[in-house]
Amino acid sequence: MSRATTDSAAPVLRMEAVRKTFGSSVVLRDVDLEVAPHTVTALIGASGSGKSTLLRCANLLEEIDDGAIWLDDEEITDPRTDQDAVRRRIGVVFQAYNLFPHMTVMENITLAPRRVHGMDRGEAQARARELLDRLGLGAKADEYPDRLSGGQQQRAAIVRALAVRPRLLLLDEVTAALDPELVGEVLGVVRDLKDDGMTMVLATHEMGFARDVADQVCFLDGGVVLERGTAEEIFGEPREERTRRFLRRIVEAGRL
Amino acid sequence: MTVVKAESGEGPGKGPAEGDAHDPYVPSRRRIERERHKRSRARRATTIAALSTLVTGVLLYLVVVNAPGWPRAKETFFNARYAREAFPKVLEGLWLNVRLLLVCGAAVLVLGMLIAVARTLRGPVFFPLRALAAAYTDFFRGLPLIINLMIVVLGVPALRLQGITVDPVLLGGTALTLTYSAYVAEVFRAGIESVHPSQRAAARSLGLSNRQALRYVVLPQAVRRQVPPLLNDLVSLQKDTGLVSIGGAVDAVRAADIIVGRSLNYTPYIVAGLVFVALTIPMTRFTDWVTARMDRRQAQGGTI
C-alpha cells in the first residue's frame, strides 16, 4: 500500500475487502486494491487465482458478495448506482477480443460513441480513424473481424475500448489467445498507452512485460493478494515463499 | 439435375502461380497423359449414367402402364380436359394464397419476434409478460392447426359478435398467424440464446444498456443465424394457407374442390397440388442459397 499512500492524487479505482464466490468456491477473499491515476497495475498469478474475476468485478460484470469498490470516490457497488453509467467510464479488453462479428471494425468502434454517448456519426468516425491509424489499422476499418489476424483483432478491440475515452482501462490477458509473434504488436500498443498516461489494470501471464510496464504488481494466489509492490520488489526480491515458487516456475518455463 | 457450385476465388491472396505470363511452364507429358485418362474416365461415367437412367425410366413406365387399374387412375387423376379447365381457376385461387402468405408472413415475423423478446426480458415487472409468452408458445405449438382453424374460422362467426368479422379469409389468416407466431418465436428465442454471453458482456462493458445490447448486438446476430429455419417455416406456412379453404374462402384448394365436386374427377386436386409444389420449390432453393451464402461469409478463410 506504500505507493498509494504516498501518491497525492485520489485513486481512480479502489477496492476494499472484496469477496466473491461462485457457489461454494471462494474466488476472491478480502481483496484490497488501489490504482492511482496514470499508473499501470499488473495482476499476476496462476490460472484460477482470481485475476479475471477481479477485473470483471471492477466492471460490475460480476456482483461482489462483500466489500466495496470505488471509482473516482464514487462507490459503484452501492445498489443504487447506475451501472451503465459506471461501465461507460471503464474500457475493457477481453482475452478473446469479443468483437461483434456482424459489424465491420468501424461499426464495432463507433457503436458505443454513437449509441451511448450520443456522438454524431462523422465525429465518431473521425475519432475512430485517428485511433485506427495510430494503432496501424487504418486500412482495416471496413473489414469484418473474421478477416483480421488475431493481433489485428485485439488491436481493434483496444481501439473500441479507447473510443469512448475511458477513465480506466481493464485488460484481461489480452495476449493469451495470440500466436507468439503477434504478442509483441499488442504489448507495444499497451506500452504506448502507458506513455499517454492511461490508467490501466491488466491481468497477464507475460511476466517480462509486467516487469517493464507496471508501476504496481499484485501477486494473486487462491483469491487473495498475497504480495504487492513495485515491479522491482516483486520480481527482484519477493518476500513470500509462494511468490518465489511461482516466479521460479515461470522462469523454468522460459517466460521471464 | 446437376448442381454446379461456382467457386469464387475470394481473398486478396494470389492464387497458384499459374496465371503468370513470364512463367515458362510447359505441361509435362505425364500431366497431359494423366488428364487425357481423367477425361476418358469422365466420358465413360456420363455414358453409363445416361444408359442406366434410360433403362430405369423405361422399366418404371412399363410397370406403371401395365399395372392393373392404370387406365382408371389415369382417367381419374390425370385427365387432360379437367386439368385444362381447373388450371386457370386454381391459379386465380392461388393469388389469394400468395396474398395470405405475404400478410401472414409479415405478421408472424413481427409477433414471433415480440414474443421471443418478451421471453428474454429480465426483472420482476416483466414476470407476467414472460409467463404469458411462454404459455402462448406452449399452447399454440401443441394445438393442431386444423383445430385452431376450425375454432377460429367456423366457431367465431357462430358467436355472432358485433364488430367481429366473419370473413373466412381474415379469420383463417388470424388462425395461421396465431399458430405460426408460436413456432417462429421459438426459432427467434433459440437464436437469441445461441449468441455467446461474451458478446453481451462486451456490449455491456461499452456502456450499452440491456436493451441496447439486445437491439444492436444480440438480435442482429440471432436473426442472421436463424434465417434458414425461418425460411423453412415460411415454406410451411405457404402450403398451410391452403387450409383456409375449410371456411369456404375460394383459394387454389377450394377452386379445385369446386370442380371435383361437380365432376367427380380428381385431376383438379393434382393440379392444385402441383401448383403449390411449384411455388415452394423457388422458396426452398432460395433458402439453400441464403444458407450457402451465409456459410461463405462467416467462413474464416480456407476452403474446408
Residues of B in Cβ contact (< 8 Å) with A161: 205-206
Q: Which of A52, A104, A115 to mutate to test the interface with B (most CBs of B within 10 A)?
A: A115
Residues of A in Cβ contact (< 8 Å) with B220: 102
pLDDT of res. B227:
87
Model confidence at B298, in pLDDT bands (50, 70, 90)?
low
User: How many contacts, defined by CB atoms under 8 Å, are there between A and B?
Assistant: 63
Cβ pair B203:A59 closer than 8 A: no
Residue A84 to residue A59: CA distance in whole angstroms? 10
The nearest alpha carbon in chain A to B225 belongs to A102
Of the candidates B274, B231, B230, B299, the one whose C-alpha atom is nearest the C-alpha of residue B90 is: B274
| Nearest chain A Cα distance for residue B201, angstroms | 7
Cβ pair A100:B199 closer than 8 A: yes
ipTM above 0.90, yes or no: no
Model confidence at A215, in pLDDT bands (50, 70, 90)?
very high
pLDDT of res. A255:
67
pLDDT of res. A33:
95
Residue A106 to residue A117: CA distance in whole angstroms? 16
pLDDT at B269 over 80: yes
Model confidence at B280, in pLDDT bands (50, 70, 90)?
confident
B241-251 per-position pLDDT tens digit:
999 888 888 88
| Nearest chain B Cα distance for residue A139, angstroms | 13
pLDDT at A6 over 80: no
HSE of B267, CA atoms in CB hemisphere, 13 A: 17
Residues of A in Cβ contact (< 8 Å) with B209: 84
Nearest to B206 among A112, A146, A147 (CB): A112
Of the candidates A165, A105, A111, A112, the one whose C-alpha atom is nearest the C-alpha of residue A133 is: A105
pLDDT of res. B21:
65
Of the candidates B188, B287, B174, B179, the one whose C-alpha atom is nearest the C-alpha of residue B235 is: B287
Residues of A in Cβ contact (< 8 Å) with B207: 84-85, 87-88, 112, 116-117, 164
Kindly write down the DSSP assignment for every residue of A33-67, as one continuous string.
Answer: EEE-TT-EEEEE-STTSSHHHHHHHHTTSS--SEE
pLDDT of res. A4:
44
Residue A11 to residue A216: CA distance in whole angstroms? 13
Residue B28 to residue A218: CA distance in whole angstroms? 67
| Nearest chain A Cα distance for residue B87, angstroms | 46
Name residues whose C-beta falls within 8 Å of residue B30's C-beta, 6 or more positions apart in sequence: none
| Total Cβ atoms within 10 A of residue B279 | 17
pLDDT of res. A199:
96
pLDDT at A171 over 50: yes
**A110 and B CB contact within 8 Å:** no
The nearest alpha carbon in chain B to A85 belongs to B207
pLDDT at B294 over 80: no
Question: If you average pLDDT over residues B184-196, what whole number do you get?
Answer: 94
The nearest alpha carbon in chain A to B215 belongs to A115
Residues of A in Cβ contact (< 8 Å) with B296: none
Cβ pair B206:A87 closer than 8 A: yes
Nearest to A98 among B198, B209, B300 (CB): B198
Percent of chain B with pLDDT over 90: 57
Q: pTM (2 decimals)?
A: 0.78
Residue A131 to residue A65: CA distance in whole angstroms? 38
pLDDT of res. B14:
42
- For chain B, the average pLDDT equals 87
B209-219 per-position pLDDT tens digit:
989 999 999 99
Model confidence at B2, in pLDDT bands (50, 70, 90)?
very low
pLDDT at B304 over 50: no
Nearest to B207 among A101, A112, A147 (CB): A112
Cβ pair A100:B204 closer than 8 A: no
Percent of chain B with pLDDT over 70: 90
Rg (CA), chain B: 28
Of the candidates A172, A130, A179, the one whose C-alpha atom is nearest the C-alpha of residue A152 is: A179
Model confidence at A177, in pLDDT bands (50, 70, 90)?
confident
Kindly write down the DSSP assignment for every residue of B235-262, as one continuous string.
Answer: HHHHHHGGGGGGGT--SHHHHHHHHHHH
- The more confidently predicted of residues A5 and B261 is B261
Cβ pair A164:B216 closer than 8 A: no
pLDDT of res. B20:
57
Residues of B in Cβ contact (< 8 Å) with A118: none
Model confidence at B171, in pLDDT bands (50, 70, 90)?
very high
Cβ pair A100:B217 closer than 8 A: yes
Question: If you average pLDDT over residues B254-260, what whole number do you get?
Answer: 91
Q: Which residues of B touch A (CB under 8 A)?
A: 198-199, 201-209, 212, 216-217, 220-221, 224, 298-301
Model confidence at A256, in pLDDT bands (50, 70, 90)?
low
pLDDT of res. A117:
93
pLDDT at B35 over 70: yes
Of the candidates A202, A205, A222, the one whose C-alpha atom is nearest the C-alpha of residue A58 is: A202
Residue A123 to residue A143: CA distance in whole angstroms? 20
The nearest alpha carbon in chain A to B220 belongs to A102
- The more confidently predicted of residues B157 and A39 is A39
Q: Return the minimum-mean-pLDDT range out of B114-118, B132-136, B182-186, B226-230.
A: B226-230
pLDDT of res. A193:
93
pLDDT of res. A93:
95
A100-127 per-position pLDDT tens digit:
999 999 999 999 999 999 999 999 999 9
pLDDT of res. B297:
63
Cβ pair B298:A98 closer than 8 A: no
User: Do the beta carbons of residue A109 and residue A159 sit within 8 Å?
Assistant: yes
Cell numbers found for residue B95: 393469388
Q: DSSP letter at B203?
A: H
Nearest to A116 among B201, B202, B206 (CB): B206
Nearest to B221 among A92, A98, A101 (CB): A101
**A91 and B CB contact within 8 Å:** yes
Q: How far is CA B219 from the centre of its chain?
A: 22
Residue B87 to residue B82: CA distance in whole angstroms? 8
A71: helix, coil or strand? strand
**A112 and B CB contact within 8 Å:** yes
End-to-end CA distance of chain B: 25
Q: Which amino acid is at B238?
A: Q
**A139 and B CB contact within 8 Å:** no
**A121 and B CB contact within 8 Å:** no
Cβ pair B221:A100 closer than 8 A: yes
Name residues whose C-beta falls within 8 Å of residue B290's C-beta, 6 or more positions apart in sequence: B227, B228, B231
Sort residue A188 into left (φ over 0), alpha (ψ -120 to 50) or beta. Answer: alpha
Nearest to B221 among A102, A112, A116 (CB): A102
- Phi/psi for A140 (5° steps) reads -105, 10
pLDDT of res. A8:
55
